[in-house]
Amino acid sequence: MGSFNIDSFVLLAALLLIVGVSVTKFSSRLGMPSLVLFILVGMLIGSDGLGIIYFDNAEQAQLVGIIALVIILFEGGTQTKWSTIRPVMWPSVSLATIGVLITSLIVGFAARFVVDLSWLEALLLGAIVGSTDAAAVFASLKERNISTKVGATMEAESGTNDPMAVFLTLIFIELITVNQPNYLLLFGSFFWQMGLGLLIGLALGKVASISINHINLDSSGLYPIFALSFALLTYSTASLINASGFLAVYVAALVIGNSELTYRHSIFRFNEGFAWMAQILMFIILGLLAFPEQILSAPVIINGLLLSAVLILIARPVATFLSTIAMNYSLKEKTFLAWAGLRGAVPIVLATFAIVAEVEKGQMIFNIVFFIVLTSALIQGSSLSFMAKKLGLSGPKKETPHHSLELISIGKANAEIIEFKTDENTPIVGQKLQDIEFPDTVLVSAIVRNEKLVTPYGETEIKEDDFLYILVSRKQKNKLRRMLKRDY
């Protein structure tokens, strides 16, 4: 990589992004998670592939991975409705704590007898693969139609289980590398991380929401950057006092995403695109860090397949069923959640901790973890839709309109154009515009029906599945929401 000049590096970066974006379309047709193809791209251009880039710096990969995960968690959290998450919060927290612990212990126990590792090294491996991955889960749910309840559970679990995985990983690394660890301090740190991470997320999420709405910036393009800066601020603030930065970011994103925001549409669209770029970059970098000659060696393949089988068929199901006892989940829902425990970037990033800490068999652990992640993504990730269909848990078809109408916030006029889709429960369906008692400052500017633009006038009747584009002053948004009786 050092032999490249600046122009060559820029060209390579452009090509990688083009390939990464193209891969997402290819992956959806194959039914394969895009993260697998991103990783394969990284492995292909690495030193054991085409030899274009030589990269073996675990610390740099860890830095890229952490920043990318912050961006991905923030985007996923802002897109999540609190009304959807609230009913499944306790089961999700149980899966994110008790479930991760049970999974880690079972995989660690199996690793002790499958791989040439000490008890502490085996338990470290189990801890690293103990949590599901937010990047993999968010990406998979965007591409598939999963029922709202299990989809929300997967999102909330993956957004909140990183503290337990990080906690367990750091505990076992310290037990391996420190002669006389302070056990009381180690176990107390978990509650510190969870509690402070939650409080910091709530506080900075509220501060961010108020700031976005009350600071009048010169350009609308600055608002998405302003919002994203709070994600980085939240993570760093929490991490600097040894709280869970990832949990803080996810909680802050939930607060921001469920608040009234000016330039909401612009912020969300920017976050979505930036999160995709972060995901592409992160998985390609992680692919570069892996050497196919080592990952695809016979010992790693054999040990990886055995531990993947334990993880997918034993550890995750046991953890899921025990963590959701008496929590109003059907057998089919528990079975799907057990199968949907996707592993992705988080385990690979956590595996770099072992290398950076100079754990004696850290590279071996990294190689096996990397293989387990690939196996999980290929087997579980590619079969989510199939399993959901077989278990009768397919959700409503996700409809993305093919039309394009830029939603705007008019800062000087203190007004916004919002998008609203009607359904059978919308009170105004079947009524003519002239008969609807909208607030004085509300104007239906456009209607898109069956992919066609309808110019609204008094006699226009509102129908089910219409996309309404409504100009409303910010003072009247709450009144309009109550009138439509649905969040938008």
pLDDT in tens, 438-447: 887 788 888 9
- pLDDT value at residue 184: 67
d(CA 351, CA 367): 9
Work out the percent of the chain whose per-residue pLDDT is above 70: 90
Q: Are 377 and 344 in contact (CB under 8 A)?
A: yes
- pLDDT value at residue 83: 83
Instruction: Bin 470: left if φ > 0, else alpha if -120 < ψ < 50, else beta.
Output: beta
- pLDDT value at residue 426: 84
- pLDDT value at residue 178: 79
247 pLDDT more than 80: yes
Q: At 321, is the pLDDT very low, low, confident or very high (cuts 50, 70, 90)?
A: very high
- pLDDT value at residue 71: 93
Q: At 488, is the pLDDT very low, low, confident or very high (cuts 50, 70, 90)?
A: very low
d(CA 96, CA 91): 9
User: 308 versus 8: which is more confidently predicted?
Assistant: 308
Residue-wise pLDDT for 161-216, tens only, equals: 888 888 899 889 988 987 766 666 667 777 888 899 999 999 999 999 999 988 88
Instruction: Bin 258: left if φ > 0, else alpha if -120 < ψ < 50, else beta.
Output: alpha
Buried/exposed 322-353: b ≥16 CB within 10 Å, e otherwise: ebbeeeebeebbbbbbbbbbbbbbbbbbbbbb
Report the chain's mean pLDDT, rounded to a whole number: 85
Q: Which two tokens stand for residue 424?
A: 């059978």
Residue-wise pLDDT for 41-73, tens only, equals: 888 888 777 788 888 888 989 999 999 999 999
Residue-wise pLDDT for 415-431, tens only, equals: 777 788 888 888 888 88
- pLDDT value at residue 6: 77
* Cβ neighbours for 280, distance < 8 A, ≥ 6 positions apart: 16, 17, 20, 21, 38
Q: At 407, is the pLDDT very low, low, confident or very high (cuts 50, 70, 90)?
A: low
Q: At 32, is the pLDDT very low, low, confident or very high (cuts 50, 70, 90)?
A: low
- pLDDT value at residue 2: 44
d(CA 326, CA 216): 49
How far is the first Cα of the chain from the last one, in angstroms, to the nearest whole number? Answer: 47
- pLDDT value at residue 138: 79
User: 37 versus 461: which is more confidently predicted?
Assistant: 461
* Cβ neighbours for 172, distance < 8 A, ≥ 6 positions apart: 120, 121, 123, 124, 127
Give the DSSP letter of residue 447. Answer: E
Q: At 396, is the pLDDT very low, low, confident or very high (cuts 50, 70, 90)?
A: low
Work out the percent of the chain whose per-residue pLDDT is above 90: 36
User: 125 versus 148: which is more confidently predicted?
Assistant: 125
User: 143 versus 157: which is more confidently predicted?
Assistant: 157
pLDDT (average), residues 268-285: 89
> Which stretches of 290-412 are DSSP H helices?
292-295, 298-310, 316-323, 331-339, 345-356, 362-379, 384-390
Q: At 27, is the pLDDT very low, low, confident or very high (cuts 50, 70, 90)?
A: low
Residue 253, SS3 per DSSP:
helix
Which H or E run includes 484? helix 477-484
